[in-house]
Amino acid sequence: MKKATQVIHAGSRRDINMGGLNTPLLASSAIEYLDDSEVRYPRYFNTLNHNVVAEKMSALEGAEAGLVTSSGMAAIASILFGLLTDGDHVIFTQGLYGGTHALIVNELKRFGIQHDFSAPDINAIRQLSRPETRMVFVESPGNPLLSVVDLAAVAEYAQAQDIISVIDNTFATPILQNPLAMGFDLVMHSGTKYLSGHSDLCCGTVNGPARLLDKVRNHAVNHGGCLNAQDCHLLERSLKTLELRVQRQSENAGVLAGRLNQHKQVLRVFYPGLEDDPGFEIATRQMRGFGGMLSFELVSDIDPVSYLRRLQLVICAVSLGGVETTICQPTATSHQKIPTAERQRLGITPGLLRLSVGIEDVEDIAADLLQAMS
Ligand SMILES: *Cc1c(COP(=O)(O)O)cnc(C)c1O
């Protein structure tokens, strides 16, 4: 089945008691067990509404197994702590989500897990490889400069070294990019973003082979980051429009990237769909569209905060992936905790603004972004 069909039908179960079309919401935390093949409990990640969303995501990512967690960070923590142990080494690419960065620098060392940050290219990753390296973790397109990693090259390297490859696929969504088909072992999402898409849920997902998912789930069961049935049910509903939303967001972002790129008060636009973007060639190869996220840098005589205040339609907010267009200044939000010198080295200046393009009419979004520059 194609994505637009999978989002509607994969995993979902009709209500056998009343004939309802939708998966029933099973809110019970106490479930009969004598005639069941397993003991079911919300924190065991095996109740009806959990399984339905996990199966839908498995279909969309082309995976054998899946897990739905209480946040994107719970998904990442379950992967890292479920699969790594004392003495292991991990390579992370730069340009990770701020919360992931914080988890790495604040928590891993205490558990004896070593790490390095690599430039997002395969040669840099190879150079950081050690005999103890057990995992490579990438984000593509990355945050906030939309840098693109060559996924087939990373997967090939990981397979040759017999290490686990993991990708945070939040920005691309399974609609535009399927890393498992390129040889990655695990794919995770902050479901808070595009998967839920209406800025009203906090959740995460992990998909991959059962042999790895079992370990990730065991860790998650012990640490308790399960998602309640109501939110699983809402996530299932949201996923049904994922394909429609992402296609529109990606289309809108392409138009806006082109307009901003030609504007004299914009220094630079970061969007892998622009032909002069360093990620264009690889993105064209590995994605089915360039996504709804873009960043742009205002010329230095526009004060970025005043610019944000002049916007009337576009909302200044953290998070991303909603149906409404939102904007944020990474130096004040997602990348606030990164030291200034390091930010400058990465090219994250105060004039850099990150736009999460919604599904509104693109002309209305463009008009608002441009009026606030004058
Ligand atoms: C938001 C986000 C996360 C963390 O997800 P939460 O749901 O906030 O825990 C991880 N990765 C990326 C790329 C994100 O945007």
> Which of ligand 1's atoms lies nearest the C-alpha of 100?
10
Collect all residues with Cβ–Cβ distance below 8 Å to 330 and sequence separation of at least 6.
143, 144, 295, 348, 352, 353, 354
- Judge contact between 76 and 168, C-beta under 8 A: yes
Ligand 1, pocket residues at CB < 6 Å: 71-73, 97, 99-100, 139, 143, 168, 170-171, 190, 192-193, 202, 204
CA of 187 relative to ligand 1 center, distance in Å: 13
> Per mean pLDDT, which range of 43-57, 103-117, 154-168, 332-346 is the poorest?
332-346
Give yes or no: residues 218 and 314 share one domain.
no
Give yes or no: residues 186 and 307 share one domain.
no
Q: What is the CATH classification number for the domain harbouring 271?
A: 3.90.1150.10
> Which of ligand 1's atoms lies nearest the C-alpha of 74?
9
Collect all residues with Cβ–Cβ distance below 8 Å to 102 and sequence separation of at least 6.
337
- Judge contact between 82 and 216, C-beta under 8 A: yes
Give yes or no: residues 92 and 204 share one domain.
yes
The domain in which residue 177 lies consists of 3-239
Number of domains comprising the chain:
2
Give yes or no: residues 100 and 231 share one domain.
yes
Give yes or no: residues 258 and 227 share one domain.
no
Distance (Å, whole) CA 269 – CA 77 = 32
CA of 164 relative to ligand 1 center, distance in Å: 21
Nearest CA to ligand 1 atom 8: 72
Give yes or no: residues 167 and 308 share one domain.
no
Nearest CA to ligand 1 atom 7: 72
Q: What are phi and psi of 91, to 5 degrees?
A: -105, 125
Q: Which of 127, 128, 123, 186 is nearest to 154 (CA)?
A: 123
Nearest CA to ligand 1 atom 5: 72
229-257 pLDDT, tens digit each = 999 999 999 999 999 999 999 999 999 99
SS3 content of the chain, % helix, strand, coil (to 5): 40, 15, 45
Q: Greatest CA separation found in the chain?
A: 71
What pTM was computed for the model?
Answer: 0.97
Q: What is the CATH classification number for the domain harbouring 201?
A: 3.40.640.10
Give yes or no: residues 197 and 315 share one domain.
no
DSSP 26-81: ---SS---TTSSS---GGGT-SHHHHHHHHHHHHHHT-SEEEEESSHHHHHHHHHH
56-78 pLDDT, tens digit each = 999 999 999 999 999 999 999 99
Give yes or no: residues 57 and 116 share one domain.
yes
Q: Mean pLDDT of all residues in the chain?
A: 96
